[in-house]
Amino acid sequence: MRGRGATLAVAESLTGGLLAAALVDVPGASETFRGSVTAYATDLKASVLGVDEGLLAVHGPVHPVVARQMADGVRRLLGATYGLATTGVAGPEPQGGQEVGTVHLALAGPEGTFVVSPRLSGSRDRIRADAVTAALELLSDRVAVEPPSRRDCRLFS
């Protein structure tokens, strides 16, 4: 991301700040990481990140479109090239009709917004840690396949 001049913002629910912590553990993170919003409460997903209130009322906070709107919202809110979002149920009990291990991750960027929904299992801590790993893999995989920005193409400079 540094080589592309790209930046990242994170919207977390399920992971409660673990994703941002993993990112800032990397020396030099300040060159690309803009910041994060931990919108653990459902109403904050709407009021801060711009998630559609009707969507939340009908489907609840654990839904792939909620993850998509969280990623789009944090990207816009923090002025980043990419927005990465996590939502899901880590347990110990199901939430809003969603089973423990239901996870939705989204990455919004110049090439669009991508959502993945890995099915995770294990303890609450394991599900949250695995969600962080899956989110970082989504970011890494998508950034690797997206073409560099026009600014990165020096052929005609």
pLDDT at 155 over 50: no
Which residues touch 107 (CB under 8 Å, ≥6 apart)?
71, 82, 83, 84, 85, 113, 114, 138, 139, 142
Question: pLDDT tens for residues 47-90?
Answer: 999 999 999 999 999 999 999 999 999 999 999 999 999 999 99
pLDDT band at 146 (very low <50, low <70, confident <90, very high): low
Smallest Cα–Cα separation from 87: which of 78, 79, 96? 96
Beta bridge partners of 38: 12
**Phi, psi dihedral angles at 12 (to 5 degrees):** -120, 145
Euclidean distance between CA atoms 137 and 151, whole angstroms:
25
pLDDT band at 154 (very low <50, low <70, confident <90, very high): very low
pLDDT tens digits for 112-141?
Answer: 999 999 999 999 999 999 999 999 999 999
Beta bridge partner(s), residue 109: 112
CB 71 within 8 A of CB 84: yes
How confident is the model at residue 145, as a pLDDT? 72
The length of the chain is 157
Check whether 149 has a pLDDT greater than 80: no
pTM equals 0.92
Q: What pLDDT digit, counting tens, does each position of 3-40 carry?
A: 889 999 999 999 999 999 999 999 999 999 999 999 99
Reply yes or no on whether the pLDDT at 152 is more than 90.
no
**Predicted confidence (pLDDT) per residue in 98-118, tens digit:** 999 999 999 999 999 999 999
pLDDT (0 to 100) of residue 147: 62
Please name every residue paired with 103 in a beta bridge, in sequence order, or none if there are none. 88
